Amino acid sequence: MSQPLDPWNDAGILAKRLQLPGFRLLIVIGAEAWCTRCRTIRPDFDSLAASAKADEIWLWLDVEDHAQFLGDYLPENLPMMLVYDGDKLVSSAFLNNASALRVKSMEPLDYEDKNLLIDPGIRSRLISEDWASE
């Protein structure tokens, strides 16, 4: 079981791994301080993150603690899950319960739905190794 990566402490590791071809990035955006649903889903997220495949990164971003990585993006509902396959955002979904976390993490949206996705640029911010010096 591995420790979850944190963008503040593991920026170099994240940047290097995300630059590998075909790497999958699964992000859940939450607000544990005031979002009950986020606190409910977090233990399940941590469990899945700890058993992630070698070509996956599971990353929890809190709207308050990780605002720099979110940029101007603020989801309408929390928690929100974003899934990147390589450099493409393939899924974006509101998680209304912990079981949704397991289901949404495994299947991207159908191809016709992908045209509706707007990439908030989180992956590109995470891939920059020198973000901390800004």
Band of residue 76 on the pLDDT scale cut at 50, 70, 90: confident
Cβ partners under 8 Å of residue 111, min gap 6: none
How far are the Cα atoms of 73, 88, 104, 130 from residue 115, in angstroms, in the given order? Answer: 18, 11, 18, 31
pLDDT one-digit tens code per residue, 14-57: 888 888 888 899 999 999 999 999 999 999 888 888 888 888 88
- Does residue 40 contact residue 100 with C-beta atoms inside 8 Å? no
**Distance, CA of 89 to CA of 57 (rounded, Å):** 14
- The pLDDT assigned to 116 comes to 54
Tallying the residues shown for the chain, one arrives at: 134
Residue 104 clears pLDDT 80, i.e. is over it: no
The verdict on pTM exceeding 0.85 is no
